[in-house]
Amino acid sequence: MVEFGGWDMPIQYTSVLDEHRACRTGAAVFDVSHLGSVRVSGPGALAALQWAFTNDLGRVRPGRAQYTHLLDPVDAHVVDDIIVWWIADGDFVVMPNASNTDRIVGALGEAVADHADGDVAVLDVTSGRAILAVQGPHARDRLAAVHAGAAAVPRFGVEPADFHGAPGFAAGTGYTGEDGVELHVPVEVAAMVFDDLVEAGITPAGLGARDTLRLEAGLPLHGHELGPGITSLQAGLGWVVRFLKPDFRGRTALVAERDRGIARRLVGLATAGRQVPRAECPVLRDGAVVGMVTSGNFSPMLEHGIALAFVPPDTITGDSLIVDVRGRSLDATVVDLPFWSH
């Protein structure tokens, strides 16, 4: 157990490798209650969220989830990457990263004050629920023995779900590169639901496996691939930005970067053997430092080192680079993302 974003969180239950492989080949459950849950409701909720975030909720509908970004209004860096669960007309659950919940509540308050077209309530409900992420190729089969309705929620769908008589939600979302469902469970029954999942043959997994899984899937982590100085475009996530919207927070700065061209971009690096690149290791080309590793680890499925790194925008798949790992040169090849897929 370690402190993480103000929470006590498990790094592992047995081993990171075992938990990682359980998720890739069977099913695993992650307690990700450190994520925030902010309920945004009222007639003006949609307009406020449309201005606050980069993506366009008009492309989805109630009963669906959407990945999106909140940008800094000055330089368009990604303040946070977020999942929005559209529960019903005028009713949303916004899910920020652990350390950003207060910041998101503040930004949404500004959006409501300046851009809502009706009354809106913004309420941090994090302390009243747990989030249990059931992930893996057999996640839905095993979840069905516990909650058939939750197991049937479609990918990026959101539906109400009852847990031991307490009302919650299930969404077809996750952060592992596998199919799965995230359960929004009232805190008073969360331990019971977790036990039910384990008894159904779902392996408990900690933050260690969650990180190696998301890295194999090429998914960004706030504070590494997203954060101060990093925009959606640099991170290769331009698809989450809907420039056709007439306005959103940070749009002017991001349009300026789009028009002048990005100064760096995020790529995947593969290395041979068990020595791995780590975050903040310099990346070199022709003897000169050209970038920096943001995340690196050993891939349990590929059985070699993998990393994400920011490099010059002219870098292409197949290029050979060097990673300086504490004074040792490690050969690396630029590869397409994700590193691993079925």
State which of 187, 218, 249 marks the end of a domain.
218
CB 84 within 8 Å of CB 49: yes
256 with 269, same domain: the answer is no
141 with 206, same domain: the answer is yes
Residue 324 lies in a domain: yes
Whether the bond between 154 and the residue before it is cis, its omega within 30 degrees of 0, is no
Residue 2 lies in a domain: yes
CB contact set of 122 (below 8 Å; sequence gap of 6+): 38, 39, 40, 105, 108, 109, 112
Residue 239 lies in a domain: yes
Residue 271 lies in a domain: yes
Q: Which residue has the tokens 């449309």?
A: 50
Give the closest residue to 182 by CA, choosing from 37, 24, 70. 37
CB 163 within 8 Å of CB 186: yes
* pLDDT, position 5: 77
Look at 5 and 11; give whichever has higher pLDDT. 11
Residue 225 lies in a domain: no
State which of 218, 241, 276 marks the end of a domain.
218
Tell me the CA end-to-end span of the chain in Å, nearest whole number. 31
Average pLDDT, the chain: 97
142 with 177, same domain: the answer is yes
Total domains in the chain come to 3
Average pLDDT over residues 262-284: 96
pLDDT in tens, 132-188: 999 999 999 999 999 999 999 999 999 999 999 999 999 999 999 999 999 999 999
CB 258 within 8 Å of CB 244: no
Residue 210 lies in a domain: yes
> Residue 44 pLDDT > 80, yes or no?
yes
Look at 342 and 310; give whichever has higher pLDDT. 310
The CATH code of the domain that includes 62 is: 3.30.70.1400
146 with 202, same domain: the answer is yes
State which of 218, 239, 273 marks the end of a domain.
218
The CATH code of the domain that includes 208 is: 3.30.1360.120
> Residue 98 pLDDT > 90, yes or no?
no
pLDDT in tens, 210-243: 999 999 999 999 999 999 999 999 999 999 999 9
* pLDDT, position 104: 96
150 with 207, same domain: the answer is yes
5 with 71, same domain: the answer is no
State which residues form the domain around 172. Answer: 1-33+125-218
Percent of the chain's residues with pLDDT above 70: 100
293 with 256, same domain: the answer is no
182 with 72, same domain: the answer is no
Amino acid at 308: L
Average pLDDT over residues 9-17: 96
Q: Which residue has the tokens 């640099």?
A: 234
Percent of the chain's residues with pLDDT above 90: 96
Give the lowest-confidence range in 126-130, 197-201, 338-342. 338-342
* pLDDT, position 181: 98
24 with 157, same domain: the answer is yes
Band (194; pLDDT cuts 50, 70, 90): very high
CB 232 within 8 Å of CB 67: no
181 with 77, same domain: the answer is no
Instruction: Please give the Cα distance from 196 to 129 (Å, whole number).
Output: 17
Look at 98 and 93; give whichever has higher pLDDT. 93
Instruction: Please give the Cα distance from 297 to 323 (Å, whole number).
Output: 13
291 with 186, same domain: the answer is no
Looking only at Cα atoms, what is the longest distance across the chain? 63
Residue 103 lies in a domain: no
Give the closest residue to 225 by CA, choosing from 296, 313, 324. 296
* pLDDT, position 342: 78
Bridge partners (DSSP) of residue 28 are 135, 203
176 with 300, same domain: the answer is no
Average pLDDT over residues 318-335: 97
Residue 226 lies in a domain: no
The CATH code of the domain that includes 316 is: 2.40.30.110
